[in-house]
């Protein structure tokens, strides 16, 4: 990584054409930065746990067994048991689906609405631009997590509203990126050409602008996934959205918090670790996707 910045004369190579396939490029990115490969592996693991979790785990995540309560990790219970004797390993794995779903859904929501609002603002300008800009500025005037708390408290304490709140606080970010990208392409040659061929504004927007800013928006998605999952877990940590006994990382850490001071570390530690690894994985993967799509912004 440290040598990237140095200007060394590149050896002349005629065997590799400059336009390699996407997969070859992806392989190059991964091989240059093995951490991205590691993150991809972790991502696969998360996806598998999210899809198949409930059928993989050794115990029922809701089954309590008071005789085996508060046991440290053993061969039978890999991550130990909680205050009701539930198997923490099973609960951590099963929770993946819910946490992953909240993050994905909120990002999809803001990707569609924020992206569209931003593109329209950048492409049409005028009052749409002013309105969208004003909304985004107003959201940015709040500390974002605090606004999310207020939204969930107002809309009602449910998982759906956590998804909505997480989408809303990410809105300005998506608007800004989509607006800037649409704005620079508004008068681009290919757009002018399409306009001269008699396409309407909306057609230009959807067939010329949107497909062209998709890669940049994909980078944005992967960069905000980690933040979305962190935000959702934070909300459920303070008791919003997910209700016990539902297994979810944030609420499991909250349940284990009371036992930290008496030394039962495993109840909060393993769900917290899962959360941390997931966020870490998404952040690294986000950097990887950026390297893949938008090499100029590499740092």
Partner 1 sequence: MLAQIGKRFLTVIPSLIGVIIVTFLLTRVLPGDTASYFAGPAATPQAIAEIRTKLGLDKPLPVQFADYVAALVKGDLGQSLTTGQAVTKDIAARLPASAELTLAGLFLAMSIALPLGVMAAVRQGSWIDHLCRIIATAGVSLPVFFTGLLLVYVFYFILGWTPAPLGRLDVFYSEPARVTGFLLIDSLIAGEFETFRAAFAQLILPAVTLAIFSLAPITRMTRASMLAVLGADFVRTARASGLDSSTIIGTYAFRNAMLPVVTTLGMVFSFLLGANVLVEKVFAWPGIGSYAVEALIASDYAPIQGFVLTMAILYVLLNLMIDILYGVIDPRVRLEG
Report 146-205 residues binding partner 1 (CB under 8 A). 146-151, 153-156
List helix spans (H) across the chain: 22-32, 34-56, 88-124, 126-140, 144-155, 159-185, 189-196, 201-204, 210-237, 249-260, 266-293
Give the tokens for residue 9: 């004369």
Estimate the crossing angle of helix 126-140 against helix 88-124, to 10 degrees: 150
- Residue 278: CB partners within 8 Å, gap ≥ 6? 46, 96, 99, 100, 226, 229, 249
* Nearest distance, CB of residue 14 and partner 1, angstroms: 32
Q: Which is nearer to partner 1, 20 or 138 (CB)?
A: 138
Report 116-135 residues binding partner 1 (CB under 8 A). 134
**Alpha-carbon torsion 48, 279, 274, 103, what sign?**
negative
* Nearest distance, CB of residue 209 and partner 1, angstroms: 28
* Nearest distance, CB of residue 254 and partner 1, angstroms: 8
- Alpha carbon 244 to its chain centroid, in Å, reads 24
* Residue 179, CA distances (Å) to 65, 106, 114, 249, 299 in order: 55, 20, 10, 35, 23
Report 251-290 residues binding partner 1 (CB under 8 A). 253-254, 256-257, 260-263, 265, 268-269, 272-273, 275-276, 279-280, 283-284
In the shown chain, the binding pattern of residues 27 to 66 toward partner 1, with x for contact by CB under 8 A and - for none, equals ----------------------------------------
Q: Which is nearer to partner 1, 72 or 143 (CB)?
A: 143
Give the range of 45-53, 72-80, 136-144, 188-196 binding partner 1 by CB under 8 A.
136-144
Interface residues with partner 1 (CB under 8 A) are 2, 134, 137-138, 141-151, 153-156, 226, 230, 233-234, 237-240, 250, 253-254, 256-257, 260-263, 265, 268-269, 272-273, 275-276, 279-280, 283-284, 299
């Amino acid at each position: 990584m440290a040598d990237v910045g140095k200007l060394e004369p590149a050896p002349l190579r005629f065997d590799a054409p400059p336009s390699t396939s996407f997969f070859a490029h992806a392989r190059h990115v991964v091989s240059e930065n093995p951490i991205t490969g590691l993150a991809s592996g972790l991502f696969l693991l998360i996806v598998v746990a999210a899809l198949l979790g409930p059928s993989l785990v050794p115990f029922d995540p809701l089954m309590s067994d008071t005789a085996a309560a508060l046991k440290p990790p053993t061969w039978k219970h890999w991550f130990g048991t909680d205050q009701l004797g539930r198997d923490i390993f099973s609960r951590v794995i099963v929770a993946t689906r819910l946490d992953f779903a909240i993050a994905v859904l909120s990002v999809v929501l803001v990707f569609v609405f924020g992206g569209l609002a931003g593109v329209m603002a950048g492409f049409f300008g005028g009052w749409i631009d002013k309105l969208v800009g004003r909304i985004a500025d107003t959201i940015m005037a709040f500390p974002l997590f605090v606004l999310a708390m207020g939204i969930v408290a107002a809309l009602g304490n449910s998982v759906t509203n956590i998804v909505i709140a997480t989408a809303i606080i990410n809105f300005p970010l998506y608007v800004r990126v989509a607006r800037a990208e649409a704005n620079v392409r508004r008068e681009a040659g290919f757009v002018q050409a399409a306009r001269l061929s008699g396409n309407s504004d909306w057609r230009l927007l959807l067939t010329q602008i949107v497909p062209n800013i998709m890669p940049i928006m994909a980078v944005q998605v992967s960069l905000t996934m980690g933040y979305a999952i962190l935000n959702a877990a934070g909300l459920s940590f303070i008791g919003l959205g997910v209700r016990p006994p539902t297994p979810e990382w944030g609420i499991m850490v909250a349940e284990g918090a009371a036992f930290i001071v008496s030394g039962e570390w495993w109840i909060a530690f393993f769900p917290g670790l899962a959360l941390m690894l997931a966020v870490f994985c998404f952040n690294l993967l986000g950097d990887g996707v950026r390297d893949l799509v938008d090499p100029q912004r590499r740092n």
